[in-house]
Every structure is written in C-alpha cells, then in structure tokens.
Amino acid sequence: MQRRYLGLAAAGVATVMAAALSGCGDTAATGDVTLRLVAADYGNSSENSSQKYWDRLAADFEAGHSGIDVDVKVYNWNEVDTRVADMVKHGNPPDMAQIGAYADYAAQDRLYSADELLSIPNQADFIPSLAEAGEVHRVQYGLPFVSSTRVLFYNKAHFAKAGITQPPRTWDELRDTAVALKRAGVPVPYGLPLGPEEPQAEALNWILGGGGGYTDKIGTYTIDSDENIRTFQWLRDEMVAKGLTNPHPAKTDRRDVFSAFTQGKVGMLNGHPTLMGMAEKNNVDYGMVPLPGRRGTSPATTGVADWMMAFKAGGHRAEVGKFLDFVYSKKNVLEFAEQYNLLPVTNSASEAMRGNRKNRSLWPFLEQLPSAEFYPVNKQSWAPVAKKLKLTIGKTVEQGGDPASVLAELQREADASENASPS
C-alpha cells in the first residue's frame, strides 16, 4: 500500500487554487470547503433515519476541523443510486457517495483510490476479503462501509413440534427437516425467495453450498458450471417439486419470506442480521446456524457490502481524506454497525464487537465474514448480469424448469457484458 500524498506542498497548491477559483462553487477565498456526501438510509422510520447519524458525525468532525464543513443528504435505497448517477450525468457529482456499487465510476476514472485518501493504518484496517472486493485491477476504489453475511434461521417452536432436535447441516438433512415440518403442519417448511427483489443472494447461498459460484478464483464468470446446474436441479427436484417451499419461488421476494417468518408461517430460511430484530419484535423464538451444503456445512456464505467512494471532480482530496479517516475510526464504524444490526468492515471494530457481549447475537454473522464470498461488484459487467439474473434465476426451480438453459443464457449475458466492458 502506498502512503497517500498529503504534504505541505499539496496543501499550498490547494490554497493557491482556492484563491484563483474564489467565484466557483464552495471553494471561497477564505479557504473554507464544504464537502458534499450522498448516503443511503438504513433506517425504516424518521426515528432511526441515517440522516441523524450523519448529522451528528458531521458536527463532531467539523468541531475538530476548522474550515471544513460536511453537508450530507440521505436518500432511501430505492433512489440513492439514481440520485448519484444523475448528479454525475449532469457534471455535478458529490465529493463522496455511500451507495451500492462503485465499479462503473472507477472504470470511468472518476474516483480517488483508497491510498490517495486514507491513512495507512485505516486502509490496512479493512477486513481483507472486503478490501479485495473493492479493487479494480488490484487498485482499491471502493471503500467498504457496512456488510452482512447469511445464516440459516429456524423457528424453534416449529422444530420442537416436529420432533426435530438438531438443525440441518447438509442439503439432505435440510430436505428431511422440511418434510418433518410439513407433516407437523408448518405452512412453508423452507422459505425460498427467488423473486426479483434480491434473488442473487439466495442463489449464491445455494451455489456456494454446491461447490460453485458466480466466478472462479481468477474472476472469470462460471454461472453455467456443472456444479451450479446440479445445485438448481437438486433444489427444483428435492425441495420445490416436493412442496417443501413457498409455492412460487420465482414470484416470492425476500421481504415476503422475512415477513412470513416473523408471523410464524416459515420453518427455515436463509437470512441476514436484520431478520433478528424483526423476529424478536414479533416474539418469534429462533435459532441460527451456518448454511447447510451438499455434503456438510457450506464452505462459504454470501457476503454483501455497501460502498463509500470519493469523486475526483470536486478536487478536495485532502479534505475528503481527513473526513474519511474520521468516518473509519473504530468508534464510528462500530457505532453505525451496532445501530443497524450490521457488520463492521474493519478489523479493529470487528474485534470490539466480538469482545462485547451485548453484540453476541451478531457473532455468528461476524465469524463468517473473513471467508464470505461477495458478488463480483468490481466488474463493470456485474450490473447488467445481476439485472438479468433477478428476472430469470427463479425459472430454474419451476415445474419443468431447465437450470442448464437458464444458466447458459445468463452465462452468455455475462460473457457479452464482460467483453463490452473497458479493460
């Protein structure tokens, strides 16, 4: 890792430029700078909106950094990526954006790299698997902000009623457990969300358990691999066809099965940390275990990360770097993760979370983070591939569905998108 350049010479040049550009934007002759950040909202009401977190964080930062103000606009996940894209399109990108993907902007050479922004200790503090997921051609442009992994949730009351004493560790045990739950009258033994909301996560959970993945170890798409085909054939024949899941997985979204689980209608499902609070609010007594795999516990689980990035256009590299060093302090990383039941992205905050028993419900997710598999978000081609996957992956498990055909179509889309992307 390179040491970012924040020497006095650069600061002097920035001051001269500020004076020369006194009529442009917020870079006034006084040398004062206002950094603009667009961020996603992780709350579900005005009471726990992320705007409150950012306003407090900005105020704390400004108190110790005279001459730098931070203006934060928070939008919900349905619009935040589009907001940033529109700002970029109209030549007015924010200084920073905390959104879902960074690869397009990195490919367009619009972003500062991590080593141009962060101090060496902060850059080295990122969990390695997350830092790697933020790299394009081995240069880190995406700064992981928060993350999550997946575990198998199960309803303890349903298990007890069905006489099940151990949660499943293999796919065959999962099927047999689902059969017992169905006999005990559980409406949906296993909740399978392959509808268009977020099927890429559920699909990845399954193909990882089957020894496959979206890409191989060198990043080549392997969507139509034999392992992946066999995974969806098993899921179609052993779970869906036998009535052990919700009736129409291709039309069922994650929020649907989460809601059904909290209502006591689902026996098992793959879930992330947010489901804990939802279940507890509805007094559901649940357990959590690692995901089952074909022959044993799955060798990996799905990891999902959201990203911070810094745009070059504003020219405020030094000021942005100071603010991001503050954002990625152990205290601030841990505070945000705890507030929203998410996982911290740095080693120091992870160790702090692991050392505090009030966070013990998050430990099963935290333990899996170093070995989690992430979407290939460092590929510019991933966005169109994911869009098509959302609309088609559910067809693999429909009655009469042909996994080989569906996955081959996705592979062609992936290859075409990859070839069309800048090298």
pLDDT, tens digit, 9 for 90 and up, residues 392-420: 999 999 999 999 999 999 999 999 999 98
| Rounded Cα gap, residues 86 and 83, in angstroms | 5
User: CATH class for domain 151-300+379-420?
Assistant: alpha beta
pLDDT at 15: 38
Radius of gyration for the chain, computed over Cα atoms and rounded to the nearest angstrom: 23
422 pLDDT above the threshold of 70:
no
Q: What percent of the chain has pLDDT over 70?
A: 92
Domain ranges, ordered by start, for the chain: 8-148+304-374, 151-300+379-420
pLDDT at 333: 98
pLDDT band at 5 (very low <50, low <70, confident <90, very high): very low
Q: Which residue shows structure tokens 């333990």?
A: 367
273 pLDDT above the threshold of 90:
yes
How confident is the model over 381-397, as pLDDT tens digits? Answer: 998 999 999 999 999 99
pLDDT at 45: 81
Q: What is the mean pLDDT of residues 345-374?
A: 93
1 pLDDT above the threshold of 70:
no
Domains 8-148+304-374 and 151-300+379-420 share a fold: yes
How confident is the model over 315-354, as pLDDT tens digits? Answer: 999 999 999 999 999 999 999 999 999 999 999 999 999 9
Angle 274-281/254-262 helices, nearest 10 degrees?
40
Name the strands in the sheet holding 286-289, side by side, starting at the edge strand that comes first in the sequence.
188-191, 266-271, 151-155, 286-289
Mean pLDDT of the chain, nearest integer: 91
12 pLDDT above the threshold of 60:
no
pLDDT band at 46 (very low <50, low <70, confident <90, very high): confident
Checking phi first, is residue 142 left (phi over 0); if not, alpha (psi -120 to 50) or beta?
Answer: beta
Q: What is the pTM of this model?
A: 0.84
Look at 98-102, 242-246, 263-267, 403-407 and tell me which has the smallest mean pLDDT: 98-102
Tokens of 162: 């069905």
Residues in a beta bridge with 98: 39, 308
pLDDT at 7: 35
Distances (CA, A) of 157 to 17, 265, 268, 269, 365: 67, 11, 11, 15, 23
Closest CA to 315 of 123, 116, 145: 116
pLDDT band at 18 (very low <50, low <70, confident <90, very high): very low
Q: What is the mean pLDDT of residues 145-163?
A: 97
Distances (CA, A) of 402 to 152, 352, 406: 27, 47, 6
Count Cβ neighbours within 10 Å for each residue of 202-226 and write b for 16 or more, e otherwise. bbbbbbbbbbbbbbeeeeebbbbbe
pLDDT band at 78 (very low <50, low <70, confident <90, very high): confident
Per CATH, the number for 8-148+304-374 is: 3.40.190.10
Q: What percent of the chain has pLDDT over 90?
A: 86
6 pLDDT above the threshold of 80:
no
pLDDT at 371: 82
- Output DSSP code: residue 207: H
